Amino acid sequence: MAATTTPRKDARVRYWEDYAVGETADLGSCRITEEEIVAFARKYDPQPFHVDAEAARRSIFGGLIASGWHTCALMMRLSVEAARREGAAGAGSPGLDSCRWLKPARPGDVLAGRTEVLEVWPSRTRPYGFVRRRVEMVNQHGEVVVAIVGISMYQRRPAVVA
C-alpha cells in the first residue's frame, strides 16, 4: 500500500534515492510505564501477564511485561518521529519479513530505537522505491527487546525539468 504525503515545496525532502544499504540511524527513545502497559493490553492483548500485576508475579516473568505488539507500536512511533525529522517522503509499508520478541519490556524500562538499511530496490510499476531495514528496540541494559525486518516505501525523486 502506498500513500502520498506531499512534502512542502520549500522543505528538505528525503526521497527513496537518498537511502543507502548499510546506513544506520538512532530513532530516539521512550519510557514505558505500568499504566500504559496495562491500558494497551486491556484493549488489545489481555493476557494475565500483561494486565494483572499479581498474576504476572506468579508467572515465569516474575512481574508485568508489555505486550509484544505494544513494543512494536512504540517502535513505530519512534520511526515516524524520526522520519518526520529527516523529511522522509514515506509512503506506507507492505509489511514485515520477521519480528522477534527477544526480551520482556517491563514498567519503567527505557527503550531506544535503532535501524539499519539492509536492501533498497525500485518499484517496477510506480514512482516509488522500497527499503528493507532492520529495526530494534534496546532497553537500558543494552538488551534487544524486539527486532523486526520491515519494508518501507518512499516516493522517488521527481525528474528535474530543464
Q: Which of residues 119-148 bind a second copy (CB under 8 A)?
A: none
Q: Is 49 in the site for a second copy (CB under 8 A)?
A: yes
- One-letter identity of residue 37: I
Helix (H, G, I), strand (E, B) or coil at 52: coil
What mask, x for binding a second copy by CB under 8 A, covers residues 78 to 97?
Answer: --x---------x-xxxxxx
Q: Is 158 in the site for a second copy (CB under 8 A)?
A: no
- One-letter identity of residue 14: R
Among 37, 38, 74, 137, binds a second copy (CB under 8 A): 74
**Residues 6 or more apart from 37 whose CB is under 8 A from it?**
50, 64, 65, 66, 67, 70, 105, 107
Q: Between 66 and 120, whose beta carbon lies closer to a second copy?
A: 66
Q: Is 44 in the site for a second copy (CB under 8 A)?
A: yes
Q: Is 2 in the site for a second copy (CB under 8 A)?
A: yes
In whole angstroms, give the CA distance from residue 56 to residue 32.
17
Q: Between 21 and 80, whose beta carbon lies closer to a second copy?
A: 80
Q: Between 68 and 129, whose beta carbon lies closer to a second copy?
A: 68
- One-letter identity of residue 160: V
C-alpha cell at 93: 509499508
Stretch that binds a second copy, among 10-18, 101-109, 117-125, 134-142 (CB under 8 A): 101-109
**Residues 6 or more apart from 133 whose CB is under 8 A from it?**
115, 116, 117, 118, 149, 150, 152
Q: Is 99 in the site for a second copy (CB under 8 A)?
A: yes
Interface with a second copy (CB under 8 A), residue total: 44
C-alpha cell at 4: 502520498
Radius of gyration (Cα) for the chain, nearest Å?
Answer: 18
Residues contributing to the site for a second copy (CB under 8 A):
1-6, 40, 43-49, 55-56, 58-61, 65, 67-69, 72-74, 76-77, 80, 90, 92-104
